[in-house]
């Protein structure tokens, strides 16, 4: 086993691709296992595809034979599970894929890693880590205050419920079998290469196309935004200094109402594109999402103390960087569109 070798699932997705880049920059070797579902895109990792310490394998985290083979060949010190179905609206329409990946897939991955870990020499067993990437949404909605790592899970969407189930399995494999697992929760993450079904890129693409900007309800729902580079730093810190059995919450400390987020996007676009028309005039209120959580908020005191981690990117700076990235990368957008994304609304069942 080599501590600098990492098997990472979901590395062709939004967050995963940024983590791949951060790990390679830190001197790690990465095998990226990704099934390349609708949100997985090899264009996201094009910058590292020829890197000497990077390898891509197309496959499912739930494929026990494939994962066992990769573990045997690589003998990684870390398995980083970032692969997930992650869009709440899609889970409202049909939760089947979420259960397949976020629950059954996680269970299969844990089972395969457990069998591998049990056969390692004692010295290698001690250093092995399984890190589960999760979401603040497992905690549910909070009116006042913040969630901590000790807060109870109260998921309110099929997506959040599937992530909660996967987290419970990860914890159970640590408590029952001793597998060295860690769980990371992240607040709403944004930045370059995010699939355009999510709020910020969806609004950017719609506005630049002159389409209406649909805002759920009255836009009063509050989200805490974290720039993807800050999250990648946090995940690297977890890998280097995290302790098995622990949970770590990472959040941006940037709470914004959805309507204010959309208006901020419009202001950045107004300044970047110019012209006499205001993009905010395209805002259009639509029927709210079923079961829409009002507010998410997490404390980051634990990671500040344990890792010295704090978000480095203000929302204003991160948003401007993100909007300008989409404006400069039309070819990336065209690739996504050619794979079937049309910006249609989902999650209305």
Per-residue pLDDT tens digits for 37-90: 999 999 999 999 999 999 999 999 999 999 999 999 999 999 999 999 999 999
Active site residues: 136-137, 159
Cα–Cα dist 2/124, whole Å: 8
Check pLDDT > 70 for residue 177. Answer: yes
Are 48 and 73 in contact by the 8 Å Cβ rule? The answer is no
Decide if 120 is inside a domain: yes
Decide if 283 is inside a domain: no
Mean pLDDT rounded to a whole number for the chain: 95
Residue 343: per-residue pLDDT:
75
Provide the whole-model pTM: 0.96
The β-bridge partners of 1 are none
Question: How many helices and strands in the chain, by DSSP H and E?
Answer: 13, 12
Check pLDDT > 60 for residue 1. Answer: no
The model's pLDDT over 185-212, given as tens digits with 9 standing for 90+, comes to 999 999 999 999 999 999 999 999 999 9
Query: Which CATH number does the domain housing residue 145 bear?
Result: 3.40.50.720
Q: Measured at the alpha carbon of residue 21, what is the angle toward residues 305 and 54, in degrees to the nearest 5?
A: 125
Decide if 334 is inside a domain: no
Check pLDDT > 90 for residue 110. Answer: yes
Confidence band (pLDDT; 50, 70, 90) for 226?
Answer: very high
Decide if 329 is inside a domain: no
Decide if 82 is inside a domain: yes
Tell me whether strands 76-81 and 129-135 are parallel, antiparallel or unpaired.
Answer: parallel
Q: Tokens 């001197």, residue?
A: 27
Decide if 289 is inside a domain: no
Residue 60: per-residue pLDDT:
98
Confidence band (pLDDT; 50, 70, 90) for 32?
Answer: very high
Residue 349: per-residue pLDDT:
66
User: Residue 38 is part of which domain span?
Assistant: 2-195+226-253+294-313
Mean pLDDT in residue range 318-336: 95
Decide if 281 is inside a domain: no
Total count of domains within the chain? 1
């Amino acid at each position: 086993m080599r501590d600098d070798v990492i098997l990472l699932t979901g590395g062709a997705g939004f967050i995963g691709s940024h983590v791949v880049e951060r790990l390679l920059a830190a001197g790690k070797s990465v095998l990226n296992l990704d099934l390349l579902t609708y949100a997985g895109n090899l264009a996201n990792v094009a910058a590292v595809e020829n890197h000497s310490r990077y390898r891509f394998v197309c496959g499912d985290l739930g494929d026990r034979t494939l994962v066992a083979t990769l573990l045997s060949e690589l003998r990684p010190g870390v398995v980083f599970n970032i692969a997930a179905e992650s869009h709440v609206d899609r889970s409202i329409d049909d939760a089947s894929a979420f259960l397949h990946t976020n629950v059954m897939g996680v269970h299969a991955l844990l089972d395969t890693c457990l069998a591998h870990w049990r056969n390692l020499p004692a010295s290698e067993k001690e250093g092995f880590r399984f890190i589960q990437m999760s979401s603040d949404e497992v905690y549910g909605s909070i009116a006042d205050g913040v969630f901590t790592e000790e807060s109870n899970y109260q998921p309110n969407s099929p997506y959040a419920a599937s992530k909660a189930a996967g987290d419970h399995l990860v914890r159970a494999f640590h408590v029952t079998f001793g597998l060295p697992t860690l769980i990371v929760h992240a607040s709403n993450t944004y930045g370059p290469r995010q699939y355009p079904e999510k709020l910020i890129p969806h609004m950017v693409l719609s506005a630049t196309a002159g389409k209406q900007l649909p805002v759920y309800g009255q836009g009063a729902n509050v989200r805490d935004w974290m720039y993807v580079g800050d999250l990648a730093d946090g995940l690297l810190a977890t890998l280097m200094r995290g302790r098995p059995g622990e949970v770590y919450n990472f959040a941006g400390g940037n709470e914004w109402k959805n309507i204010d987020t959309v208006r901020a996007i419009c202001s950045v676009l107004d300044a970047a594109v110019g012209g006499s028309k205001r993009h905010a005039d395209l805002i259009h209120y639509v029927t709210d999402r079923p079961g829409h959580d009002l507010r998410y908020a997490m404390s980051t005191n634990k990671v500040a103390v344990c890792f010295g981690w704090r978000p480095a990117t203000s929302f204003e700076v991160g948003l401007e960087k993100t909007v300008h990235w989409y404006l400069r990368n039309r070819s990336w957008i065209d690739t996504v569109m050619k794979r079937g994304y049309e910006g249609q609304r989902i999650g209305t069942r």
